[in-house]
């Protein structure tokens, strides 16, 4: 008996073990046709027969009996009472019809007996011989008698069928209850269990249950449908699998590949733009959305390419207003390749019949691959394969390999490669009233087997140059041929024609160089790009070198989860997209991290406060990237000083939205898409963005111990931000307390007090607490650091002890209001606002994420209500420890309750609409701190899957949410592993989620390198210290001194 990586197999019955699926279909048809004829006779409803393909498979197959009845009746708009399972078979209720079907089924079974799928039975016997646990899970209430009649009942150690489900109150497929219950009965983990199903609802249940393998059996020629709905592998008969060895192969190699990739097995026009964002390739310098190569921008597709820091400013006339906006430029499209047969239409996936398709993005090496078979109107079938990447080895290089193969024809095939700069920004519908033409064509052309393009941004005057080397292969043999180059303004199309025989392959390698005048200097970008492609030998060599750099990244950044394949996939997907957005190449760039990555045009690519959620991940793994991001802010400190001075303040006031030069890019007016009305936009009053920058500066220093940076550029920013906030403080001479007016907190819904003529709010609790924290860290650093280190900086910005003393006084006297229950008032006057009838609004609108827009469309104002888009006051606890907040409040003279966090969490959570994806991860983190495990986990999984499932209904199409991705990765380290980064030495108190067997990761903290392996019952850690001295670490409340380089293990 061999050792296996899986422990159990749970089989469906009908269509998997027994050939009773067709028997069920026949029984359903007989019952429903009789019922439908009675409806025609008694109600005048035209008879339309019940069919296997149109009715049984989509509405009934795999579902519990009464649910199947209800599903079919709903599809026909037939409304009858649901009834009760005890209803007589003649009763005209859903349950009565279900019971009537059962009578018919048993009559057929008695007459014809039970036929088996021999290959399945053979596999069951082989599994039993190998010691694998076996169960059966079926929606059928006839499962036991069917198995008994077939002589198979004794083979199964557990049976969860329709009878058991009714007794236990289990939900039917596509919920996974019957399969998870079967595993629970056997005492096996879901992650090492296999579900075998033939129904769509069954493989959906397998996917929902997060099992180690969902195996589909396509008895209905529905391989593609089963793959689309959740099957990992699909066979048409179990004999194709190769027995137990075939199942072992999945757990040895297939599962690992799945954990390193996302896969789409269909082309869904309504979801394509969101998928394109998730299939983006990039390297920190540029990102290219995962659109199909053959697509132009249109209703279903948007093949955008974005370059770090590439902005352009235009003024648009909208409703008699001049609106100035700086946009994240949709750069020239290097991706396009297409073909046509003879003189037919150029390939368009939106018009051709797609017979099969799968697209896989590999996180491991950044390779996006596609396989598809299409059929045109003439019946010609063509197989298409493509692979693309943005080189992580050379930031200026992209590569594409595109292969077509006629499946049932021979003929002339024209292959076309395009470089397209004649395009606009059109990725966000609500911006379409604005002028979106950001590029001017400068030069385009081709030469033998290359093509090139030069454009320039209209206002920022940056040249963008592309050149492509085009290698053509016929059956793997490279063809030396000149392409025909057709040019138009801002565009070059290069074509080649070949006579291609059936099953012969025609391939194009497109090796691309992308440069801008920011790197080369004016007038040199195109020459540099054309010279660059001469050094690109082949797609495979570009891929090989890029893979090596990705390996280096994953060695530092990977988080390995055993026991939860979905969480593993999502965590790696988030790390991948973070590295696409900011990579080691960023040390050579002058750019921040756009809130929506290099993946789309939402928020115009601007840099907000979202880096607060992101940079600690990079600080632990790639501190040099963080320093480059902070230097983007430092290079714009002059604009921040001007911005502060403009409003009468000292120091540096950074803008809420930052782009090319650091000026405020936030709109002054905003269009409400619900009401269609323009209104003032006060969001620039979210001055707390400067506090996020200060937070990131401090924790970059704390984690990396880069004292030089904090003594120079970092300190200059930090202390100038302190100056800004101090100059914004107003002292009440009666109380001695300081207030901060005219700000907005993170909740974004509240812009001013009801009835007030003054925009902004007074004494936002989050703002005042973070100001106090920042002043405390700054003065503490200045008091403790060697004076020689900061003498130059203090002289440069004229900082003296008198000013530092003032900061200390303000720190302890900022105004923060608490009520008698220990609830921090979000801002002065908040407790006097009206309560919102949340249940009524949910019932009326269902989706109430953007309650601000709903209220304004109703003629109301969110300013009047206790309603928040996302955490505001609670953000203080997300940034700081509970002990830090209590210490700050104590310094201000407040006494605090022990469960202050719990009280504030309970108060504000129910008053939040969660209109930002960030809301869930903040609340997940705090719920975990409160040891509310189930709530924390549910919120975390919503955040972790938010872009993957496009939880906000289309926003992912406009770009990924980088803040959520960064914070969900950090959650694993800080919440699940329980690692605290606030002290000089690490402490940890891990609690692995249910099902997680092992968690592995590493990072650098304060010049020591940590390698963790965490199990449910123990922790193993290796620390490599910078000075080879023992390192102290606190694990589950006990302090240990660990010798550098030795593996240390402790039981929990």
Place of tokens 């910078």: 1026
Q: Both tokens of residue 429?
A: 């519908």
What's phi and psi for 306, nearest 5 deg? -130, 140
Exposure of 401 by Cβ count < 10 A (0-12 exposed, 13-18 middle, 19+ buried)? buried
Contact 273, 428 (CB under 8 A): no
The answer to whether the peptide bond before residue 174 is cis (omega within 30 degrees of 0) is yes
761 DSSP β-pair partners: 743
Query: Mean pLDDT, consecutive 10-residue segments, the chain of 1052 residues?
Result: 90 94 86 93 92 92 89 94 92 93 85 91 97 96 92 97 96 97 98 97 98 96 95 97 96 97 98 98 99 96 98 87 91 98 95 97 99 97 99 99 98 98 94 91 97 99 99 96 96 98 98 98 98 98 99 99 98 99 98 98 96 98 99 99 98 98 88 69 93 98 97 98 99 96 95 92 98 98 92 96 97 97 97 95 91 91 95 98 97 94 97 93 98 97 97 93 98 98 94 97 97 98 90 96 95 95
Instruction: Tell me 866's DSSP state.
Output: S
CATH architecture designation of domain 272-315+322-354+396-545: Distorted Sandwich (2.70)
Read out DSSP for 944-967? HTTTTTTTTSSGGGG---HHHHHH
1031 DSSP β-pair partners: 1042
**Within the chain, how many helices (H) and strands (E) appear?**
33, 38
Q: What is the C-alpha separation between 358 and 360, in angstroms, rounded? A: 7
CATH architecture designation of domain 8-18+115-259: 3-Layer(aba) Sandwich (3.40)
Encode 445-461: b = buried (16+ Cβ within 10 Å), e = exposed. Answer: ebeebbbbbbbbbbebe
669 in helix, strand or coil?
strand
What are the contacts of 520-527 at 24+ separation with CB within 8 A?
A: 522/463, 523/463, 525/454, 525/463, 525/464, 525/465, 526/443, 526/452, 526/454, 526/463, 526/465, 526/467
Read out DSSP for 403-451? EEEESS--EEEEEEEEEE------S-GGGTTS----EEEEEEEEETTEE
pLDDT at 413: 97
pLDDT at 810: 98
Instruction: Tell me 171's DSSP state.
Output: P
Q: Please give the model's pTM, rounded to 2 decimal places.
A: 0.94
Residues 530-578 pLDDT 10s: 999 999 999 999 999 999 999 999 999 999 999 999 999 999 999 999 9
Contact 620, 613 (CB under 8 A): no
Q: What is the C-alpha separation between 574 and 921, in angstroms, rounded? A: 14
Contact 399, 512 (CB under 8 A): yes
- Tell me the CA distances in angstroms from 346 to 352, 416, 601, one per residue in order: 10, 9, 28
377 DSSP β-pair partners: none
Query: Catalytic: which of 220, 748, 929, 1022?
Result: 748
Q: What is the C-alpha separation between 199 and 110, in angstroms, rounded? A: 24
Asked whether the CA dihedral 562, 568, 569, 573 is positive or negative, the reply is: negative
Read out DSSP for 487-507? EETTEEEEEEEEEE-TT--EE
What's phi and psi for 496, nearest 5 deg? -145, 145
Neighbours of 83 (CB within 10 A): 19
Q: What is the C-alpha separation between 998 and 258, in angstroms, rounded? A: 18
882 in helix, strand or coil?
helix
3-state SS track over 263-316: EECCCCCCCHHHHHHHCCEECCCEEECCCCCCCCCCCCCCCCEEECCCEEEEEE
Contact 442, 455 (CB under 8 A): yes
387 DSSP β-pair partners: 369, 401
pLDDT at 917: 87
Contact 777, 750 (CB under 8 A): no
Contact 1015, 995 (CB under 8 A): no
Q: What is the C-alpha separation between 526 and 450, in angstroms, rounded? A: 13
What's phi and psi for 607, nearest 5 deg? -105, 120
Exposure of 334 by Cβ count < 10 A (0-12 exposed, 13-18 middle, 19+ buried)? buried
HSE-up of residue 272 (Cα within 13 Å, Cβ side): 20
Place of tokens 């931000």: 721
CATH of 21-112, one of 1.10.150, 1.10.3470, 3.30.70, 1.20.120: 1.10.150
Residues recorded for the chain:
1052
Contact 360, 369 (CB under 8 A): yes
End-to-end CA distance of the chain: 34
Contact 410, 583 (CB under 8 A): no
All residues at 6 or more sequence positions from 984 whose CB lies less than 8 Å from its CB, including other chains: 1006
Place of tokens 């009047």: 864
HSE-up of residue 1017 (Cα within 13 Å, Cβ side): 0
Contact 729, 739 (CB under 8 A): yes
Asked whether the CA dihedral 854, 856, 862, 865 is positive or negative, the reply is: negative
Exposure of 130 by Cβ count < 10 A (0-12 exposed, 13-18 middle, 19+ buried)? middle
pLDDT at 108: 82
* Angular region, 28: left φ>0, alpha ψ -120 to 50, beta rest: alpha
Active site residue 1049: no
Contact 829, 652 (CB under 8 A): no
Asked whether the CA dihedral 386, 960, 878, 695 is positive or negative, the reply is: positive
Contact 82, 93 (CB under 8 A): yes
Q: What is the C-alpha separation between 816 and 638, in angstroms, rounded? A: 31
Q: What is the C-alpha separation between 89 and 201, in angstroms, rounded? A: 26
Domains of the chain by residue range: 8-18+115-259, 21-112, 272-315+322-354+396-545, 998-1051
């Amino acid at each position: 008996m061999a050792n296996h990586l899986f422990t159990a197999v749970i089989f469906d019955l009908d269509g998997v073990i027994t050939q009773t699926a067709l028997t069920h279909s026949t029984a359903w048809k007989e019952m429903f046709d009789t019922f439908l004829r009675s409806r025609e006779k008694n109600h005048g409803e035209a008879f339309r027969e019940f069919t296997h393909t149109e009715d049984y498979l989509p509405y009934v197959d795999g579902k519990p009996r009464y649910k199947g009845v209800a599903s079919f009746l709903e599809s026909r708009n037939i409304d009858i009472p649901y009834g009760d399972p005890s209803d007589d078979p003649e009763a005209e209720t859903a349950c009565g019809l279900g019971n009537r079907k059962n009578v018919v089924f048993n009559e057929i079974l008695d007459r014809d007996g039970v036929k088996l799928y021999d290959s399945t039975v053979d596999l069951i016997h082989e599994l039993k011989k190998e010691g694998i646990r076996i169960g059966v899970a079926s929606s059928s209430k006839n499962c036991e008698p069917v198995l008994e009649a077939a002589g198979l009942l004794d083979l199964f150690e557990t049976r969860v069928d329709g009878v058991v489900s009714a007794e236990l109150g289990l939900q039917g497929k596509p919920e996974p209850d019957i399969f998870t219950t079967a595993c629970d009965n056997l005492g096996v983990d879901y992650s090492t269990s296999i579900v075998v199903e033939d129904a769509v609802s069954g493989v959906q249940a397998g996917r929902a249950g997060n099992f180690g393998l969902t195996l589909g059996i396509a008895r209905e020629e529905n391989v593609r449908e089963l793959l689309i709905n959740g099957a990992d592998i699909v066979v048409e008969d179990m004999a194709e699998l190769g027995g137990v060895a075939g199942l072992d192969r999945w757990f040895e190699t297939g599962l690992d590949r799945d954990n390193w990739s996302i896969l789409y097995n269909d082309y869904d026009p309504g979801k394509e733009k969101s998928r394109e964002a998730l299939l983006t390739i990039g390297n920190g310098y540029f990102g290219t959305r995962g659109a199909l190569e053959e697509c132009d921008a249109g209703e279903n597709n948007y093949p955008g390419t974005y370059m770090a820091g590439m902005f352009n400013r235009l003024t648009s006339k909208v409703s008699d207003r001049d609106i100035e906006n700086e946009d994240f430029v949709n750069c020239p499209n290097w991706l396009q390749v297409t073909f046509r047969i003879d003189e037919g239409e150029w390939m368009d996936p939106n018009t051709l019949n797609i017979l099969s398709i799968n697209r896989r993005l590999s996180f491991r090496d950044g390779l996006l691959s596609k396989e598809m078979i299409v059929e045109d109107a003439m019946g010609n079938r063509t197989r298409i394969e493509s692979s693309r990447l943005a080189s992580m080895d050379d930031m200026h290089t992209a590569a594409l390999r595109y292969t077509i193969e006629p499946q049932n024809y021979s003929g002339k095939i024209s292959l076309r490669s395009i470089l397209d700069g004649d395009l606009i920004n059109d990725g966000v519908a609500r911006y379409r009233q604005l002028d979106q033409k950001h590029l001017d064509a400068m030069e385009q052309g081709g030469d033998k087997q290359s093509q090139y393009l030069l454009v320039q941004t209209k206002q920022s005057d940056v040249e963008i140059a592309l050149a492509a080397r085009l290698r053509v292969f016929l059956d793997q043999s490279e063809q030396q041929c000149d392409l025909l180059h057709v040019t138009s303004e801002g565009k070059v199309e290069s074509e080649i024609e070949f006579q291609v025989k059936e099953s012969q392959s025609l391939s194009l390698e497109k090796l691309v160089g992308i440069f801008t005048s920011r790197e080369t200097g004016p007038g040199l970008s195109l020459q540099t790009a054309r010279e660059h492609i001469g050094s690109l030998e082949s797609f495979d060599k570009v891929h090989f070198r890029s893979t090596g750099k990705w390996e280096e990244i994953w060695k530092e950044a990977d988080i390995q989860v055993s026991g939860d394949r979905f969480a593993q996939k999502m965590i790696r997907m988030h790390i991948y997209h973070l590295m696409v957005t900011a990579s080691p190449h960023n040390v050579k760039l002058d750019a921040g991290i756009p809130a929506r990555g290099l993946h789309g045009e939402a928020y115009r690519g601007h840099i907000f406060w979202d880096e607060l959620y992101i940079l600690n991940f990079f600080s632990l793994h790639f501190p040099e990237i963080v320093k480059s991001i902070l230097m983007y802010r430092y290079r714009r400190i002059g604009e921040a000083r001007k911005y502060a001075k403009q409003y009468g303040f000292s120091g540096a006031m950074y803008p809420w939205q930052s782009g090319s030069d650091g000026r405020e890019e936030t709109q002054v007016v905003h269009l409400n898409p619900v009401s269609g009305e323009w209104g003032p936009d006060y969001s620039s009053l979210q001055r707390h963005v400067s506090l996020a920058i200060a937070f990131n500066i401090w924790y970059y220093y704390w984690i990396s111990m880069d004292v030089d940076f904090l003594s120079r550029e970092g300190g200059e920013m930090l202390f100038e931000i302190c100056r800004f906030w101090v100059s914004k403080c107003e002292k009440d001479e009666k109380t001695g307390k300081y207030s901060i007016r005219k700000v907005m907190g993170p909740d974004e819904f509240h812009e001013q007090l009801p009835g007030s003529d003054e925009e902004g709010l007074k004494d936002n609790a989050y703002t005042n607490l973070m100001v106090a924290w920042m002043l405390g860290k700054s003065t503490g650093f200045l008091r403790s650091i060697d004076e020689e280190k900061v003498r130059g900086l203090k002289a440069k910005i004229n900082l003296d002890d008198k000013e530092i003393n003032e900061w200390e006084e303000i720190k302890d006297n900022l105004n923060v209001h608490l009520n008698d229950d220990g609830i921090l008032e979000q801002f002065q006057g908040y407790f006097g606002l009206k309560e919102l009838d949340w249940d009524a609004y949910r019932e009326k609108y269902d989706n109430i994420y953007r309650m601000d827009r709903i209220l304004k469309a109703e003629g109301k104002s969110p300013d009047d209500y206790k309603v928040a888009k996302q955490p505001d006051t609670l953000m203080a606890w997300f940034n700081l420890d509970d002990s830090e907040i209590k210490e700050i409040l104590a310094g201000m003279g407040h006494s605090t309750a022990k469960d202050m966090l719990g009280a504030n969490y309970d108060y504000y959570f129910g008053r939040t609409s969660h209109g930002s994806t960030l809301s869930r991860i903040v609340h997940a983190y705090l719920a975990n701190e409160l040891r509310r495990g189930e709530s924390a986990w549910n919120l975390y999984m919503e955040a972790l899957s938010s872009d993957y499932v496009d939880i906000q209904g289309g926003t992912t199409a406009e770009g990924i949410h980088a803040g959520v991705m960064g914070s969900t990765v950090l959650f694993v380290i800080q919440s699940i592993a329980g690692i605290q980064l606030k002290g000089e030495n690490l402490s940890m108190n891990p609690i692995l989620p249910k099902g997680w067997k092992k968690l592995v990761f590493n990072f650098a903290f304060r010049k020591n390198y940590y390698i963790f392996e965490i199990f449910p019952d123990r922790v193993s850690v290796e620390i490599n210290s910078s000075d080879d001295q023992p390192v102290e670490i606190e694990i589950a409340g006990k302090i240990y001194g660990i010798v550098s380089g030795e593996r240390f293990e402790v039981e929990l």
